[in-house]
Structure 1
Amino acid sequence: MPHTFYAPNLAAATYLLPEDESKHAIRVLRLSLGDAVDLVDGVGGIFQAEVADANPKRCLLRVTSEQRVPRRAYAVHLAVAPTKNLDRMEWLVEKATEIGLDRLTFLRCARSERRELKLDRLEKIAVSALKQSGQAWLPQLDELTDYSAFISALEPATSFIAHLAEGERIALSQVAARGANCCILIGPEGDFTPTEIQAALARGLQPVTLGESRLRTETAALVAVMIANFCR
Structure 2
Amino acid sequence: MHLFYSPILEPHHTQFVLSEEESKHAIRVLRLEATQLVYLIDGRGGWYSAEILDPHPKRTILTILHVEQDYKKSNYHLHVAVAPTKNIDRIEWFLEKATEIGIQEITPIISEHSERKDVKIDRLNKVVVSAMKQSLKAYMPLVHPATSFTQFLKDTQLEDERIKCIAHCEDGEKKYLNQLCTAGGRYIILIGPEGDFSSNEISQALNAGYKPVSLGNSRLRTETAALAACLEISLLNR
Task: State the TM-score, normalizing by the size of structure 2.
Answer: 0.93
- In structure 1, the gaps of 5 or more residues are none
Inter-partner Cα distance in structure 2 for 1:131 and 1:21: 12
Counterparts in 2 of 1:157-172, with a 5 A limit?
A: 158-172=163-177
Q: Which residue of 2 is the match for residue 28 of structure 1? A: 29
Question: Does structure 1 residue 9 correspond to structure 2 residue 14?
Answer: no
Do the aligned partners of 2:183 and 2:236 also contact (CA within 8 Å) in 1?
no
Structure 1 residue 73: Cα displacement = 3.0
Residue of structure 2 equivalent to 1:100: 102
Q: Following superposition, which runs of at least 4 residues in structure 1 exceed 2 angstroms of deviation? A: 70-73, 152-157
Give 2:178's aligned residue: 173
- How far apart are the structure 1 equivalents of 2:124 and 2:63? 29
> Is residue 183 from structure 1 mapped to residue 188 from structure 2 by the alignment?
yes
Q: What pairs up with 1:42-191 in 2 under 5 angstroms?
A: 42-69=43-70, 71-154=73-156, 155=159, 158-177=163-182, 180-191=185-196
Count residues with an aligned counterpart: 231
How far residue 179 of structure 1 moved from its aligned partner, in angstroms, is 6.7
- 8 A contact 2:153–2:208 mirrored in 1: yes
Distance 2:178 2:56 in 1: 51
- The superposition leaves residues 27-79 of structure 1 with CA deviations (integer Å, 9 ceiling, x where unpaired) of 11110010000001010100000111011111111110011126433201100
Any idea what SS the aligned residue of 2:91 has?
helix
2:234 partner letter: N
8 Å Cα contact 2:75-2:184 kept in structure 1: no
Is residue 212 of structure 1 aligned with residue 217 of structure 2?
Answer: yes
Shift of residue 229, structure 1, vs aligned partner: 1.4
RMSD over equivalenced CA pairs, Å? 1.3
CA distance in 2, matches of 1:58, 1:202: 54
User: Is contact 2:84-2:116 (8 Å) kept?
Assistant: yes
Query: Which moves more between the two structures, 3-12 or 185-194?
Result: 3-12
The answer as to whether partners of 1:158 and 1:179 remain within 8 angstroms in 2 is: no
Q: What are the Cα deviations for residues 105-150 of structure 1, in whole angstroms up to 9, with x where unaligned?
A: 1101001111111111110111111111111110000111111111
Query: In 2, Cα distance between the equivalents of 1:185 and 1:133?
Result: 25
Identity of aligned residues (%): 47
